[in-house]
Structure 1
Amino acid sequence: MTASVLYQASEGVATLTLNRPDVLNAMNGDLMRELREGVERAAGDAGVRAVLITGAGRGFCAGADLAARGKDGISDSGTLLRERYHPIIMALRQMPKPVVTAVNGVAAGAGMSLALAGDVVLAARSASFLQAFSKIGLVPDAGSTYFVPRYAGEMRARALAILAEKIDAEEAQRIGLVWKVHADDALQDEAGKLARHLATMPTMAYGMIKEALNQSFDNDLAAQLEVEATLQSRASRSDDCKEGVAAFMEKRKPQFKGR
């Protein structure tokens, strides 16, 4: 049986490729199980220092596979989200390694949520983003009501969710959902280049940056200042910080080890 998610680790990067191209990588039970396993494998592998998620074929992810609903014994949508989707989104946001998502085509519904769960979102020029939920009487899920207002602002989040209008990659970049847009035939090379660069950088510091940002929206200024101070104490004692300072003083390129 063909794997629903392909996993490859090389040069410090774990690449997870959603692999149901005949249905635009729509999410069914197998894909979600394999994706969770891949994310957990990458998180636990000390040799992996960056993660790249993309899709096979002409789509990133079309969201939930509606034709597969209920076939794996879970008929309630809330239960499905709690058991299958939430662990993946949380694992990506809490992973102490940078996550790049390379959106190579349509990212719709929970597929858009998955794309936005990355730390750095790249898109092909032909990619599109769609909060498709209201078209079938559902509400945005898998983190969309968390990510979109924070990235694009509340008014845009409301309009995208209620109107369910597709936006292209350049509009997504303009409103803050995407970091950079690349030509279709350059996306994978550019995403791989970025992920490999991140894998050579101070991984522990990246993990603490994510930790600080994850807490920032729930804290007032005083609390967030304390978070920064606590994390900075840890970061300043790391081997990578010592190497970074030494390289700066010696006017050479640092050789980070990720610890």
Structure 2
Amino acid sequence: MFEHLLYDISNSICTITLNRPEVYNAINDKLSFELQEAFRKATADETVRVVALTGAGKGFCSGQDLKSIAGVKIDSFADNVRARYNPIILGMRNMPKPVICKLNGVAAGAGCSLALACDLIIASEEASLAEIFIGIGLVMDSGSSYFLPRLVGSARAFELSTMGTKVPAREAQAIGLVNKVVPASELDQAVAQYTAYYAAAPTKAVGLMKRLLNLSYQSSLDEMLEYEALYQELAGRSQDSQEGIQAFLEKRKPVFKGK
């Protein structure tokens, strides 16, 4: 179905792998639209309870494939971003399921944005992140201007974006860009621990928490209290909530179905 990415589902875990290793998974037109479709597909599939996003080969994603557009006249940079990149980021953030980034190598430019749009980032010690837009006289896009200051603060975000600073994995963890860093040989196992947890978690509650956290960026306390009440109503009516309460009363481990 896909030409430039791999799409696999196993044990309620959907793994999306950018598959252009010869160019460090740089994003061309085809891959950008395939990513949009992959996230739509994973969102609609009720058997999928968590998504893992990674790259084939040594890199995660080196951003826009500049060679693919060399010599091509771009009529509108704005329309290009709106059509190719924005739907990917919105698809990831609006998905009512967790998206875990398996950061196996360099994430640069739009590739960095793609990583930051995930809910969790588990990185190899060999990985790095870089907002390299400044190197070609462009501003950051694909959500980086939204996510970066919220993760590291405005002053550091300004430095990283305007200087195009490469941030190694350990430093990225120290400043709050990634959640966990492990040796490359342990990356698969580390990510599997997270995906296994979310594959067995109460998916509806996780999705509602994701929405609440997204809303908190631009809402007042009064508004958030009301959102919490509304979403608690939805969570409380779920089968998983009923199972969780029953398991607590019976002093056993709950078996959540994601419903």
TM-score tier, shorter chain, comes to: over 0.9
What's the TM-score, normalizing by structure 2?
0.96
Deviation of 1:77 after TM superposition, in Å, equals 2.0
Partner residue, 1:201: 201
Instruction: Note if contact 1:8-1:16 (Cα within 8 Å) is conserved in structure 2.
Output: yes
Residue type matched to 1:257 in 2? K
Residue by residue, what CA displacement relative to the aligned partner does 1:25-78 show, whole Å, maximum 9, x if unpaired?
A: 000011111111111111111111100000000000000001112788854221
What is residue 179 of structure 1 aligned with on the other side? 179
CA distance in 1, matches of 2:122, 2:136: 28
Residue identity opposite 2:99 in structure 1: V
Q: 1:199 to 1:71 in 2, by over 3 A?
A: farther
Offset, 1:2? 8.1
Amino acid at match of 2:213: L
Cα distance change on mapping 1:106 and 1:235 into 2, 3 Å: same
Describe the SS at the equivalent of 1:60: coil
- TM normalised by structure 1 equals 0.96
Deviation readout 1:53-109 (Å, 9 max, x if unpaired) = 000000000000011127888542211110010001001000011110111000000
Please state if 1:82 is matched with 2:82: yes
Query: Could you say which residue in structure 1 is the equivalent of 2:239?
Result: 239
Alpha-carbon separation, structure 2, partners of 1:2 and 1:58: 21
Matches within 5 A, 1:20-35: 20-35=20-35
- Distance between the aligned counterparts of 2:51 and 2:134, measured in 1? 31
User: More deviation in 64-73 or 139-148?
Assistant: 64-73
Per the alignment, residue 132 of structure 2 pairs with 132
Give me the CA root mean square deviation.
1.6
Q: Any unmatched runs of 5+ in structure 1?
A: none
Aligned length: 259
Displacement of 1:20 after TM fit? 0.4
Identity %: 47
The answer (yes or no) to whether the contact 1:52–1:192 under 8 Å persists in 2 is no
What are the ranges of 5 or more consecutive residues in structure 2 without an aligned counterpart?
A: none
How far off its partner does 1:125 sit?
A: 0.5
1:104-124 Cα distance to aligned partner (Å, 9 max, x none): 000000100000111111110
| Runs of 4+ residues deviating >3 angstroms | 70-75
Which amino acid is the alignment partner of residue 254 of structure 2? P
Tell me the distance in 2 between the aligned counterparts of 1:18 and 1:73.
Answer: 26
**Contact in 1 for aligned 2:2/2:34 (Cα 8 Å):** no
Counterparts of 1:1-259 in structure 2 under 5 Å?
A: 3-69=3-69, 75-259=75-259
Are the counterparts in 2 of residues 29 and 72 from structure 1 also a CA contact under 8 Å?
Answer: no
